[in-house]
Amino acid sequence: MNYHWDFGFLWQYHRLIWIGLAYTIGFTILTALSGVTVGGCIAMARLANAKFISIPLVGLVEIFRCTPVLVQLVWCYYALPILTGIELSPAAAAFITLTLYGGSFYAEIIRGGIVSIDAGQWDAGRALGMRRIDLMRRIILPQALKRMVPPLVNQTILQLKNTSLLSVLAVPDLLYQGQLITSASYRPLETYTMIAGLYFVVLFPVTQLAHGLERRLSRQSQ
Amino acid sequence: MNQRAYASDEQPMIEVSGLKKSFGSTAVLKGIALTVPRGGVIALIGPSGSGKSTLLRCLNLLTIPDAGVIRVNTQTMDFTGSSRLPADRILAAFRANTGMVFQSFNLFPHMSALKNVMEGPVTVRKMETAKAEALAIELLTKVGLKDKASAFPGSLSGGQKQRVAIARALAMQPRVMLFDEATSALDPELVGEVLAVVRQLAADGMTMMLVTHEMAFARDVADRVIFMRDGVVVEEGAARQVIDAPRQEATRSFLSHFHAGRGEGAAGATGLRR
């Protein structure tokens, strides 16, 4: 109860903290982009209704959705090189894992958004003589995107928090830098409080943005 | 081009033979044959589940038949002995020449009425935007909705939505128009405005097939009526003959539900459906 809180010492580590923040945000942006790309491809392939493509993809998605991302990270870094013979740097292993993990969730969000569009929209586009790709681009996706945006933002927020797991592979993200600072300063309470604060400062505006976007989109579709 | 136009003048606009379709183990169409002359207006009537909507959807390949031959104007699709789905490009080219109007309108909710009507010409026909816009305005004027060009579907009434949908189908300058219960989702007082547009199209000489429950309207506007039940054509004949004096017992029994509406205006028949 008599603990004397002192955040002043953290200033000397500000370079480490900036690097950590850059890794965290950078990894989030990169793996969100690659994850949405992979997820979009998986969703489209599954919607194409070809069993020999969609069954393996469903398998992949379910493996990534039903195992902890921490286990996936460790497995990808230690076990995958043994299976494939390709040595992966911690950052590469982390990138691949988070891409596929995020991609699995993004895929379901994108697929769900597309199949939620009324079958009558497909009928109407087909009846006009539209090709499948034009129909998707001009009719289905513009409507589906509105429904996808809120869950995509949510998933991306989770993605950012999941980057904290990179610390187990010694990727210098925000949390890993916190661990470094703690082991040098022996002041974990201040350090982790600051780390938590930084995550909050980054993500709170994002959630607010998502709220605003959601409101605007639902007003538009009236 | 001349030759094609010449050749097609000789033939009926639509010719269907041996058309079969099953969903799972349920046979919905059990060998349908019909012809529709150029400028002909055919009403398809029958109880729900009789296959009339499926037949209509087969005519523009929204539903792919299991067997049979369909010819619309100069394009023929033969489904005998082949289980392979035709390529997307071939289906699209076939569909582009028929217009379809749906029970639930199916307007594109993210586009204005004008953009809805322009969508086919711009995306499918690759028409210049300015030209497509002029065409769309002309068609919206034709259906009496020029002042609603910039309105979004969400702010239109059911009758207005359906008229935009008709304009959208007409924008592809189809040779045939298909109406799938186009007034069934409308409030009774809005049915008339949609039927008026259909009537105008008939007067313009458009070849049309209508799945409808508006018996008075069918009697009045259609040249011929086809009564379907359980996936087969039970009776076909001149509209007045089939509706006023059906030859088959099944037709008589079906039409008895509409009895009092016979000979009255469209709105009268609608009122009696309730």
Q: Do A123 and B172 touch (CB under 8 A)?
A: no
Q: Edge-to-edge, what's the strand order for the sheet holding B224-229?
A: B98-101, B176-180, B207-211, B41-45, B224-229, B232-238
According to DSSP, the residues that pair with B27 across neighbouring strands are B22
Question: Tokens 């943005």 identify what position?
Answer: A209
Option in B96, B106, B109 nearest A123 (CB) = B106
Q: Which residues in chain B are contacts of A142 at CB distance < 8 A? A: 110
Chain B residue with CA closest to A222: the answer is B154
Tokens 């007082």 found at: B189
What CATH number is given for B2-97+178-273 in this structure? Answer: 3.40.50.300
Instruction: Choose among B91, B105, B172: nearest Cβ to A128.
Output: B172
State whether residue A6 sits within 8 Å of chain B by CB: no
CA B36, CA B224: separation in Å to the nearest integer?
9
B184 touching A (Cβ < 8 Å): no
For residue B9, the model assigns a pLDDT of 57
How confident is the model at residue A137, as a pLDDT? 94
Confidence at A1, pLDDT banded by 50, 70, 90:
low
Q: Does A118 touch chain B (CB under 8 A)?
A: yes
Instruction: Identify which of A120, A129, A139 has the shortest CB distance to residue B102.
Output: A120
Contact flag B91-A126 (C-beta cutoff 8 Å) = yes
Q: Which residues of chain B have pLDDT under 50?
A: 1-8, 261-274
**A130 with B92: Cβ contact below 8 A:** yes
- Greatest CA separation for chain B: 55
Positive or negative CA dihedral for A86, A91, A94, A99? negative
| Amino acid at the residue A11 | W
Q: How far apart are CA B202 and CA B200, in angstroms?
A: 5
Please, which residues 119-158 of chain A have a Cβ atom closer than 8 Å to chain B? 120-121, 123-124, 126-132, 134, 138-139, 142-143
pLDDT at A213: 84
Output A84 or B132, whichever has higher pLDDT: B132
3-state secondary structure of B187: coil
The partner residue sitting opposite A129, judged by closest CB among B102, B165, B172, is B172
Question: How does residue A127 score in pLDDT terms, banded at 50, 70 and 90?
Answer: very high
pLDDT tens-place string over residues A160-215: 999 999 999 999 999 999 999 999 999 999 999 999 999 999 999 999 988 888 88
Instruction: Give the gap in angstroms from C-alpha A117 to the nearest C-alpha of chain B.
Output: 11
Structural domains of chain A ordered from first start = 15-220 (1.10.3720.10)
d(CA B159, CA B165): 10
Model pTM score:
0.84
Per-residue confidence (pLDDT) for residue B268, from 0 to 100: 41
Residue A164 and residue A145 in contact, taking contact as beta carbons nearer than 8 Å: no
> Domain extents for chain B?
2-97+178-273, 107-173
Chain A residue whose CA is closest to B95:
A129
What pLDDT shows up at residue A216?
82
The overall average pLDDT reported for chain A is 92
- Across the A:B interface, residue pairs with CB atoms under 8 Å apart total 69
Tell me which of A43-57, A80-94, B212-226 is least confident.
A43-57
Nearest CA in chain A to B96: A129
Task: For this complex, say whether ipTM is above 0.85.
Answer: yes
